[in-house]
Amino acid sequence: MDQAARLRDLVKENNSSVLQEPEKPIRIYTIFSGKGGVGKTNIAVNLAIALQRRGKRVLIIDADLGMANVDVLLGIYPKHTIYDVLFNRYPLKDTLVTGHEGIKVLPGGSGIMELAVLDVEQKEALGREFMALEDIDIILIDTGAGINKNSLSFISFSQELILVTTPEPTALTDAYSAIKIMMQFKLNKNTKVIVNRCPDSGLGKNVYGRLNSTTKTFLNKPLEMLGYVLNDDKVTQAVMEQTPFLVQYPNCSASRCINRIAEELLGRKELANGGISRINSIQQLYRRLLKVFG
């Protein structure tokens, strides 16, 4: 009897310690822009690789409805997309494609549009699939140009945003408009800025400064500077070669900028406010997903 009781206690103890074990927090960033073609997809793919090289397990969700092209930049040819998960009962984990250095990609495409009309059973199935995912530390969501229902859904889903702009006045005006719409939808998310295609580092800071003071003054919305990426012909060359520039040209100026941005994202400042910028379990992730697609 004694032995049986001790055994039961042991089992109870073990089970409760399993339950209490903190799950790995997941950080979710949605990458968006006002104007199209400013470099979101290139930044998503190369930043994912830089983070993966620093020991993080990164998943990119290709959430660009019209022209999903994360796979094109990586030179991979996915057989299935999230559409198959939802409508053809294809397992999510088999839909993920592994890219350079082990980054994971959830191929998007036209299927995502139909997420809005999922029935309860499909939502539950999607949730189960997400719960079964292998460990992931960081999710980067690459959206299409501009702010629409789709990008707003992903913005509301993520804890933090990365706004990409170039120094061009048109890109800056559109970036401002994107923030304005976001604020109108009461999505006051922590927003970090990357100024891409800078001729020099000074201009990057200057462009950020002007954008930040405009959003602060007129929208009461301060932005954070995450970094700048220099204009670099190697980026276009790497696109032509369908290999990320961080892999193909690890020492080019754009690669060095991306490495600095990865360091900044993982830096001390970020860890200090980790509590508010993280999701603590895959269940929490799923609840957010339901909010987005529900």
Ligand X SMILES: Nc1ncnc2c1ncn2[C@@H]1O[C@H](COP(=O)(O)OP(=O)(O)OP(=O)(O)O)[C@@H](O)[C@H]1O
Task: Choose which of 144, 167, 227, 244 interacts with ligand X (CB under 6 A).
Answer: 144
Under the binding rule (CB under 6 A), the answer on residue 231 touching ligand X is: yes
Residues 23-52 contacting ligand X, CB under 6 A: 33, 36-42
- What are the φ and ψ backbone dihedral angles of 71, each rounded to 5 degrees? -60, -35
Q: How far apart are CA 41 and CA 60, in angstroms?
A: 10
Find out whether 70 and 105 touch, Cβ atoms under 8 Å: yes
Residue 151 site contact among Mg ion, ligand X, none (CB < 5 to 8 Å, cut-off depends on kind): none
140 binds ligand X (CB under 6 A): no
Q: Which of 66, 61, 202 is nearest to 139 (CA)?
A: 61
Do β-strands 138-143 and 58-63 pair in parallel, antiparallel, or remain unpaired?
Answer: parallel
Residue 236 or 283: the one with the smaller Cβ distance to Mg ion is: 236
CB-based contacts of 195, cutoff 8 Å, min separation 6: 165, 166, 167, 203, 204, 207, 208, 227, 228, 229
Q: Which does residue 42 touch among ligand X, Mg ion, none (CB within 5 to 8 A, set by kind)?
A: ligand X
Please name which of 211, 204, 207 lies closest in space to residue 253, comparing C-alpha atoms: 204
Q: Provide the b/e sequence for 47-62 (b: ≥16 CB within 10 Å).
A: bbbbbbbeebbbbbbb
Nearest distance from C-beta of residue 143 to Mg ion, angstroms? 8
Q: Indicate whether 41 belongs to the interface with Mg ion (CB under 5 A).
A: yes
Candidates 219, 220, 193; CA nearest to 207 is 193
Q: What DSSP state is assigned to residue 37?
A: T
Among 196, 215, 259, 277, binds ligand X (CB under 6 A): 196
Contact residue for ligand X among 61, 232, 261, 277 (CB under 6 A): 232
Binder to ligand X among 100, 104, 192, 197 (CB under 6 A)? 197
Quick one: 51 or 65, whose CB is closer to Mg ion? Answer: 65
How deeply is 184 buried, as exposed, middle or buried, from its count of CB atoms within 10 A (0-12, 13-18, 19+)? exposed
- Residue type present at position 263: E
State in angstroms the smallest separation of the CB of 107 from ligand X. 15
Rounded to a whole number of angstroms, the minimum distance from the CB of residue 133 to ligand X is 25
Nearer to ligand X, 126 or 139 (CB): 139
Q: Is 165 in the site for Mg ion (CB under 5 A)?
A: no
Stretch that binds ligand X, among 90-98, 104-112, 224-232, 271-279 (CB under 6 A): 224-232
Q: C-beta of 147: minimal distance to ligand X in Å?
A: 12
Interacting residue with ligand X among 98, 236, 280, 283 (CB under 6 A): 236
Binding residues (CB under 6 A) for ligand X: these are 33, 36-42, 64, 67, 144-145, 196-197, 229, 231-232, 235-236, 239, 254
Binding residues (CB under 5 A) for Mg ion: these are 40-41
